[in-house]
Amino acid sequence: MSIRKSYAVFGLGRYGLAVARELVSGGADVLAVDRDETLVNSLAGEFPLCKCADVTDPDVLRQLDIGSMDTVVIAMAESLEATVLSTMLCKEMGVKTVIAKCANEMHQKILSRVGADQVVFPESESGIRLAKNLLSAGFVDLLELARDVSMVEVNVQSEWVGKNLLELNLRRKYGINIVAIRRGEEIITNIDPEKPLTREARLLVIGNPARLGKLK
């Protein structure tokens, strides 16, 4: 049984709002935060936890109990200073995963150095895709090929280590197809089904999102 995770989204512009909405539609607990009081009031009916707050103020973040959040998405790329400060504060308060949106590669380097666990460029990664990755805990990455077909990269589960694909019979058990195995930078498409899986390997899998969710 998976443990329900909590999320906070700072900045409710187009990107942050897409992340927050997708997380909520996926059944996640989401704290939505923005400095624009008018915007927050307009979204209060959509998000049970929607706050107008300055996320660069440590006292405010403590009042919001940000340290209890599993993941914080900082979607304020228009203000590098605010993004840097909130990133640092979230990490200092014990947030396990901080994902920050940035405007360019220089900002990416800065945010990585101050503690961001992941930095995203909104031009290349949509807020919806980020949210789906977060909801698909245990998936290294997720690519939606069609409405009912996705491809994910999954870690080899501990009970699979030392067993081969014939023994595991994942296609029959989960209704999924393994299309490749990644070992470091090497991607193996000509899979030997009798070769035991190793802990460091990752599986590239295609299937229905509902069936893929059973791999968590």
Three-state secondary-structure class, residue 151: strand
Instruction: Provide the b/e sequence for 70-109 (b: ≥16 CB within 10 Å).
Output: bbbbbbbbeebebbbbbbbbbbebebebbbbbbeeeebbe
Condensed to tens digits (0 to 9), the pLDDT of residues 147-205 reads 566 777 788 888 899 999 999 988 888 888 888 888 877 778 888 889 999 988 888 88
**For the chain, which domains are there?**
6-135 (3.40.50.720), 139-215 (3.30.70.1450)
Question: Strand runs (DSSP E) across the chain, as ranges?
Answer: 6-10, 29-34, 49-52, 71-74, 97-101, 118-120, 139-146, 149-155, 177-183, 186-188, 202-207
Most confident of 11-15, 60-64, 124-128, 178-182: 60-64
DSSP-derived letter for residue 122 is T
Question: Could you give the residue ranges of the DSSP H alpha helices within 70-141?
Answer: 80-92, 105-113, 127-135
Q: Please count the other Cβ atoms lying within 10 Å of the Cβ belonging to residue 50.
A: 21
29: nearest Cα among 126, 165, 171, 134:
134
- Is 169 exposed, middle or buried (CB count within 10 Å of its CB: 0-12, 13-18, 19+)? exposed
With a cut of 90, say whether residue 40 has pLDDT above it: yes
pTM of the predicted protein model: 0.62
